[in-house]
Amino acid sequence: MTGFSSRLRERLQQRRDNHLYRQRLDLGSAQGPEVTVMGRRLLNFCSNDYLGLAAHPALSEALSTAARRYGVGSGASHLVCGHSELHDELERRLASLTGRPRALLFSSGYAANLGVLTTLLERGDEVIQDRLNHASLLDGGMFSGARLRRFTHNDPAALAERLATATSTGERLVVVDGVFSMDGDRAPLGEYAALCREHGAWMMVDDAHGLGVTGPGGAGSVAAAGLDVDDVPVLMATLGKALGTSGAFVAGTEDLIEALIQGARNYIYTTATPPALAAATLAALDLLDTESWRHDHLQALIARFVTGALAHDLPLMPSDTAIQPLLVGGADRALALSKTLQDKGFLVGAIRPPTVPAGTARLRITLTAAHTEAQIDALVEALAKAWAEQEATGV
Ligand SMILES: *Cc1c(COP(=O)(O)O)cnc(C)c1O
Ligand 1 atom 4, closest CA: 109
Averaged pLDDT for residues 77-106 = 98
pTM score > 0.75 for this model?
yes
What is the pLDDT confidence band of residue 37, given thresholds at 50, 70 and 90? very high
> Is 209 an active-site residue?
yes
- The pLDDT mean for the chain works out to 96
Which superfamily does 22-51+292-393 belong to? Aspartate Aminotransferase, domain 1 (3.90.1150.10)
Residue 47 and residue 371 in contact, taking contact as beta carbons nearer than 8 Å: no
Classify 357 as helix, strand or coil: coil
Averaged pLDDT for residues 200-217 = 97
pLDDT of 18 > 90? The answer is no
Q: Indicate which atom in ligand 1 lies nearest the CA of residue 134.
A: 13
For residue 19, the model assigns a pLDDT of 83
Report the side by side order of strands in the sheet with 323-329: 323-329, 361-366, 349-351
pLDDT of 206 > 80? The answer is yes
Q: Which residues line ligand 1 (CB under 6 A)?
A: 108-110, 113, 134, 136, 177, 181, 206, 208-209, 238, 240, 248
Protein fold of 58-289? Aspartate Aminotransferase; domain 2 (3.40.640)
CATH 3.40.640.10 positions along the chain are 58-289
Q: Indicate which atom in ligand 1 lies nearest the CA of residue 133.
A: 13
| Among 31, 49, 94, 110, residue to substitute to test ligand 1 (most atoms within 8 Å of Cβ) | 110
What is the pLDDT confidence band of residue 1, given thresholds at 50, 70 and 90? low
Residue 91 and residue 281 in contact, taking contact as beta carbons nearer than 8 Å: no
Looking at this protein, which amino acid is placed at residue 134?
A: H
Q: Are strands 349-351 and 248-252 parallel, antiparallel or unpaired?
A: unpaired
Packing angle of the helix pair 275-290, 85-98 (nearest 10 deg): 30
> Residues 241, 295, 297, 371: which is the catalytic one?
241
CATH 3.90.1150.10 positions along the chain are 22-51+292-393
Q: pLDDT, tens digit, for every residue of 114-165?
A: 999 999 999 999 999 999 999 999 999 999 999 999 999 999 999 999 999 9
